Amino acid sequence: MRVACAQINTVVGDLDGNVERIRAAVRGAADAGAMLVLTPELAITGYPPEDLLVRPSFADASREALEALAESITDCVAIVGFVDHDEDIRNAAAVIADGRVQAIYHKRFLPNYGVFDEARYFRAGDQPIILDIEGARMGIVICEDIWYPAPVAAELARARLDVIACISSSPFHAGKGDARERMLQTRASDSAAALVYCNQVGGQDEVVFDGRSAVIAASGEVVARAKIFGEELLIADLELDLAAGHRLRAPLLRRLEPLDSPAPVFVSAGVANAPVGPPSEIAPIAAPERELWDALVMGVRDYVQKNGFPGVIIGLSGGIDSALTAALAVDALGPDCVRGVAMPSVFTESRSTEDAQFLADLLGIRMDVIEIAPVVNAFETELVDAFEGRDRDVAEENLQARVRGTLLMAISNKHGDMVLATGNKSEMSVGYCTLYGDMAGGFAPLRDVSKTWVYRLSSWRNMDAGKEVIPEATIERPPTAELRPDQKDSDSLPEYEVLDPILLGYVEEDLPPAALVERGFPEDVVHRIVGLVDRAEYKRRQGPPGIKITPRAFGRDRRMPITNRYGTR
């Protein structure tokens, strides 16, 4: 049996556009001789639709779009994700063949953690579905259904299937792709069935989907793997006799009673074409830096383009965060769509503006220079009476950052380009950022990227290019906000080699301060950092969204109360 995975980049709410993407992929699969083609979870609507799902008209439109799509599918069997609406709404997979919907499966495990809120929207299914496609027995699952060994996966094993078809919209975070593929290999081997896994690819607000669809033999061997962070029609040939032989040799199945499953739904593949061309190759697994870079690039590209912005504006300070943000933007959008703005103050060293200009030259982007001293002086003059009797402090420092944010937003309003904020996760964690200043912007690519990873990615990008993309002088320079004379980040924070592991333990792993002290971190430093993290929650709520690349991204995954008197403060 030749099978195909349509790893496509859908857009939430673009039902007509998504149907055309599906139709083109199915046509390509049929032309290649595929008998079966899978699309991602909720491919008709895009994933996740969030509160669009509480509009009955949206769910009804999903079914109407599905019926229109079905009329054009006559040469193969397609499994298409959509929203099913009867007395309630369900996350569903339609089996389409011979120009109509032949059967529907409803997702049984509804994830309700991290970025997922499916129990908020959907009613869970409670029945398996077994298909007979030209003599091959196949079961269908949707994403979360396959992640647990029981009951759904165990039922599939007991059904003695030849093929398990899994449609998915599994979001990316660093390291997840390897873990997910190992899980799929285990499910295939335990079930003694080939497993065809089709995952979504693309960016949707803060979430990115890596794709990495795969076809896995009954033995657990990966026979085809799609690339990460790119659309692809993955083609693979399954030897169903191998699955049957594996079932005879698999001792696990002999210990499981056969499933008293519903009668199979017989589905004809229509006039199946003979296989044309070789199957897809097994795409290589990317290095961690490449994987993370591609995730950030896709997140920026899809957020900007899907929301209709012509380009982006970035405040270039001469520092590493703005340099990395600019390099990502150029890789995502091209240099003509990226504009840098340097805004030196009286505290800005000349090398900062020079490094920013050098970066702009390396990237081939436009850079404007706007001196902010006159604007800052005008604000300070007007604030003399309001500040009377108070020493100069962080208020004047933040005023400079807010002037810069105002200027960037003014240029954005005039030209329509979106401002990219440049703050990283380490800074956002402890509140080392200025509301309405450096936090101003429509999107923050580095919001979930620690400072340690900022350095690692910057060095990797130069190494990968074999030349300077980000100035080495910028990478080597100690980080500074330059809001007062001779200022360094280390004046206010521990060195990032100390700070980031503490943040990893507290934010990512939810460890209490005592456990961090047991790891060898100074007690006073731990309690200070934990207090900063807790107190900065109100700032993070007001910041722009950013790309999720860890399991505990602020906002989507880690949701803490702003008003909070729990004892970790």
DSSP state of 30: H
Contacts of 276 (CB under 8 A, 6+ apart): 31, 32, 33
pLDDT in tens, 352-382: 999 999 999 999 999 999 999 999 999 999 9
For residues 229 and 210, give the distance between their C-alpha atoms in angstroms, rounded to a whole number.
5
Comparing C-alpha atoms, which of 445, 443, 448, 441 is closest to residue 426? Answer: 448
**Type of residue found at 292:** L
166 among known catalytic residues: no
Comparing C-alpha atoms, which of 118, 96, 95 is closest to residue 108? Answer: 118
Tell me the pLDDT band of 479, cut-offs 50, 70 and 90: confident
Q: What is the pLDDT of residue 201?
A: 98
Using the predicted structure, report yes or no on whether residue 568 has a pLDDT greater than 60.
no
Which domains does the chain possess? 2-267 (3.60.110.10), 288-484 (3.40.50.620)
How many other C-beta atoms can be found within 10 angstroms of the C-beta atom of residue 332? 22
Q: What is the pLDDT of residue 515?
A: 95
Tokens 């006559």, residue? Answer: 74
Set 41, 144, 206, 291: catalytic member: 41
Percent of the chain with pLDDT over 70: 95
pLDDT in tens, 67-111: 999 999 999 999 999 999 988 999 999 999 999 999 999 999 999
Sign of dihedral through CA atoms 534, 540, 542, 548?
negative
41 among known catalytic residues: yes
The answer to whether residues 56 and 91 touch, using CB atoms and an 8 Å cutoff, is no
Q: What is the pLDDT of residue 261?
A: 67
Tell me the pLDDT band of 446, cut-offs 50, 70 and 90: very high
pLDDT in tens, 209-245: 999 999 999 999 999 999 999 999 999 999 887 666 6
Q: What is the pLDDT of residue 229?
A: 96
Phi (first) and psi of residue 142, to 5 degrees: -125, 115
Contacts of 91 (CB under 8 A, 6+ apart): 41, 42, 81, 83, 84, 106, 107, 110, 118, 122, 142
Average pLDDT over residues 138-145: 95
For residues 101 and 263, give the distance between their C-alpha atoms in angstroms, rounded to a whole number.
18
DSSP state of 554: B
Set 76, 143, 337, 433: catalytic member: 143
For residues 568 and 99, give the distance between their C-alpha atoms in angstroms, rounded to a whole number.
60
306 among known catalytic residues: no
Q: Is the peptide bond before 48 cis (omega within 30 degrees of 0)?
A: yes
Higher pLDDT, 453 or 559: 453
Q: What is the pLDDT of residue 256?
A: 65
Using the predicted structure, report yes or no on whether residue 62 has a pLDDT greater than 60.
yes
Using the predicted structure, report yes or no on whether residue 547 has a pLDDT greater than 60.
yes
Using the predicted structure, report yes or no on whether residue 569 has a pLDDT greater than 50.
no
This prediction has a pTM of 0.93
